[in-house]
Amino acid sequence: MKIKEAKLECMAAYPKDYPAGDMVEFAFAGRSNVGKSSFINSMANRKKLAYTSSKPGKTRTVNFYKVNNIRFVDLPGYGYAAVSKKEKKNWADVINRYLEQRESLMEVFLLVDGRHEPSAEDKNMYQWLIENGFSGLVIATKMDKVPKTRRLTHLKKIAQAFELSSHEQIIPYSTNSKKYRDEMWWIIEDIINHYKG
């Protein structure tokens, strides 16, 4: 995929501040520090499009990025322990408002850290996505940090946690090598074509 345009459109906590729903959107959900921003940068072939922070839980808004003629939507990370219950609820409200009200949303991809087994929050998010008609496609990030001899084992454990029939339903992604970047673009294009068809 040749990227002709990639830019941050807006950062919003409330629907009134979202950009117009004039193009298809793909959202990315996952725990804090799972690598959503790095993934978006990799897919857009930009180093600093989405802001990455060494401090988990920094993203507290829904961030909209225009990449060619579609939008990538970075949802606030969940599961960060070093915040109050009230703040966690606020983040959950921001995520839910977007997921439940955004008509231009075409698909939500769940990102999990490929080094670890999915958390309870990951499982809850996955279940919510399935129950609301999304594909439940899982992207395992940071796979370059998993020894090659252990990668298959890690993918199988992730698949088992989500009760998937095969680990091949999980995309093992590395933002460093950009392995599977083309495959992710093919998946996105297929979803768009299926929707149009």
The string of DSSP codes covering the chain is: -----EEEEEEESSGGGSPPS-S-EEEEEEBTTSSHHHHHHHHHT-SSSS---SSTT---SEEEEEETTEEEEEPPPB--SSS-HHHHHHHHHHHHHHHHH-TTEEEEEEEEETTS---HHHHHHHHHHHHTT----EEEE-GGGS-GGGHHHHHHHHHHHTT-S-GGGEEE--TTT-TTHHHHHHHHHHHHHHHH-
User: Can you give the pLDDT at residue 58?
Assistant: 52
User: Whole-prediction pTM value?
Assistant: 0.90
User: Can you give the pLDDT at residue 4?
Assistant: 94
Instruction: Answer yes or no: are the C-beta atoms of 8 and 48 closer than 8 Å.
Output: no
What is the mean pLDDT of the segment spanning 161-182?
A: 88
Task: Say what percent of the chain tops pLDDT 70.
Answer: 88
Dist CA 138 CA 159 (whole Å): 9
Q: At what angle do helices 36-44 and 181-196 cross, to 10 degrees?
A: 80
The answer on pLDDT for 76 being more than 60 is yes
Among 25-29, 48-52, 86-90, 173-177, the range of highest mean pLDDT: 25-29
The answer on pLDDT for 118 being more than 90 is yes
Q: Tell me the average pLDDT of the chain.
A: 87
What is the mean pLDDT of the segment spanning 29-55?
A: 85
Dist CA 153 CA 190 (whole Å): 29
User: Can you give the pLDDT at residue 176?
Assistant: 84
The per-residue pLDDT for range 134-162, each reduced to its tens digit, is 988 999 999 999 999 999 999 999 999 99
Task: Say what percent of the chain tops pLDDT 90.
Answer: 61
The answer on pLDDT for 8 being more than 60 is yes
User: Can you give the pLDDT at residue 186?
Assistant: 94
User: Can you give the pLDDT at residue 55?
Assistant: 53
Dist CA 90 CA 94 (whole Å): 6
Dist CA 58 CA 38 (whole Å): 14
User: Can you give the pLDDT at residue 175?
Assistant: 85
